[in-house]
Amino acid sequence: MRQITLEVPDELYEACLQIAKRTGRPVEMCIIETLARHNPFPFPELTEEEIQQALDALRPFVGVFESGNAHSADNEAIEEDLIRAI
């Protein structure tokens, strides 16, 4: 990973700052996610073996988190949360 210093317009910084406050994440992470969404270079396609390795690595963590909300996997509720965060 490389560290760089960027100058961004005040409007972009303020928008990312608001998202960071609402989501409880660092503003830097919000800016990185914004840049990643507009990446002109697509990520390389994974091979079937790489996909399987990634799934195998994640499998032990499936179901580990207890949100306390029986509807936390409700896609419509997730979409509403995402819309509010934007």
Q: What does the pLDDT read at residue 52?
A: 94
Q: Using an 8 Å Cβ cutoff, are 34 and 16 in contact?
A: yes
Of all residues in the chain, what percent carry a pLDDT higher than 90? 15
Q: Please, which residues have CB within 8 angstroms of residue 6's CB and are 6 or more apart in sequence? A: 31
Distance set, CA 40 to CA 19, 35, 36, 37 (Å): 23, 10, 9, 9
Calculate mean pLDDT across residues 13-37.
88
Q: What does the pLDDT read at residue 48?
A: 93
Q: pLDDT for 50-86, tens place per residue?
A: 999 999 998 888 877 777 777 777 778 888 888 888 7
Q: Tell which wins on pLDDT, 40 or 8.
A: 8
